[in-house]
Amino acid sequence: MDIFVRLLINVMEEGLIYGIMAMGVLITYSVLHFPDLSVDGTFPLGACVTAALITAGVHPVLALCISFVCGGAAGSVTGFLHVRLKISDLLSGILVMTALWSVNLAVLGGRAVAPFFNQPTVFNSGLPMLLPEALRPRRVLIILAVITLIVKLLLDLYYKTQSGLLLRATGDNAQYVVSQGVSPGRMKVTGLMLGNGLTALSGSVLAQQAQSASVSSGTGIVVMGLASVIIGTSLLRGLRFVRPTTMALTGCVLYKACLVAAMQMGLPTNYLKMLMAALFIAALVTGNVLDGRRGARAKLDRT
């Protein structure tokens, strides 16, 4: 029983950390319909910036905010390449992802891995130390839940603003955005900045939880994010009261649960990336099947 509880807590912790990234991918993929591969670079960017800042004595909460800004700046470059220089969306993300590898190495002073053990983080200093003694063993999960909830609520509030409504319209009806006197290109840049900012924030949270940063931590992040979004939206799309951000978070937790279950059944770690790809394919196929059934049901209702 204790083993099951530990596995469940581990799944929830990882699901919440990467769920922040999934909410960022939700913006670029589901809202803007933009296949943004730069998230593979902005995720470790957030981790590397956090490691450099905390090592320099910067407050861990401020490190989270700065990481978000750095990720947003990287997203603006992707948007600039696509909107202003007319480079394709896929290639724009690849170019930024490639360039960020060198940037991340430079941030860490040429090192591929930068540990910062025994340094203050959001999990071992400040408010977590004020928790009751009975809750301190679960402080990591509690702090992750608080951070993720704050991000989700702020994102939900942003969607209700005029800028958020225009952002959601950009991917589906760009002409409406033009009729409002706003450039769809500008809204694309805004969405890419927000999506990559959340991805970098996720990397920052992971770095503080692990107390280390690696330039290779972004490998496969785009697959994980897309799979999480597709799983969540496919399973919960019929529930109108569930917000898209909740769908992305749920999908990420389920995705991590599948990986952990496979590892517990004895799957060698060498096949982990193959399993990630298989889950992504399964999510895509399931999403297409469910969309087809909903479309067929809608036609029957109209006839």
**Residues with Cβ < 8 Å from 289, sequence gap 6 or more?**
none
Distance, in Å, from the CA atom of 55 to the CA atom of 48, rounded to the nearest integer, reads 11
Predicted confidence band of residue 295 (pLDDT cuts 50, 70, 90): low
- What pLDDT is recorded for position 301? 62
The answer to whether the beta carbons of residues 217 and 39 sit under 8 Å apart is: no
Residue 298's pLDDT band, with cuts at 50, 70 and 90, is: low
pLDDT confidence tier of residue 2, bands split at 50, 70 and 90: confident
- Report, as an integer, the average pLDDT of 117-133: 85
Query: Which of 121, 112, 7, 103 lies closest to 53 in space, CA to CA?
Result: 121
Backbone torsion region of residue 300, taken as left when φ is above 0, otherwise alpha when ψ lies between -120 and 50, otherwise beta? alpha
- Confidence band (pLDDT; 50, 70, 90) for 127? confident
Query: How many CA within 13 A on the CB side of residue 163?
Result: 11
Looking at the chain, the whole-number percentage of residues with pLDDT higher than 70 is: 95
Which tens digit of pLDDT belongs to each residue from 187-215? 999 999 999 999 999 999 999 999 999 99
Check whether 124 has a pLDDT greater than 70: yes
Beta pairing partners, 114 = 213
227 phi, psi to nearest 5 deg? -60, -40
Q: What percentage of residues in the chain have a pLDDT greater than 90?
A: 63
Tokens encoding 114: 């930068």
Amino acid at residue number 285: V
CA 107/CA 54 separation, integer angstroms: 12
213 phi, psi to nearest 5 deg: -135, 145
The whole-model pTM stands at 0.92
What are the boundaries of each domain within the chain? 2-217
For the segment 18-59, what is each residue's pLDDT rounded down to a tens digit? 999 999 999 999 899 999 999 999 999 999 999 999 999 999
Burial 44-65 (b: 16+ CB within 10 A, else e): bbbbbbbbbbbbeeeebeebbe
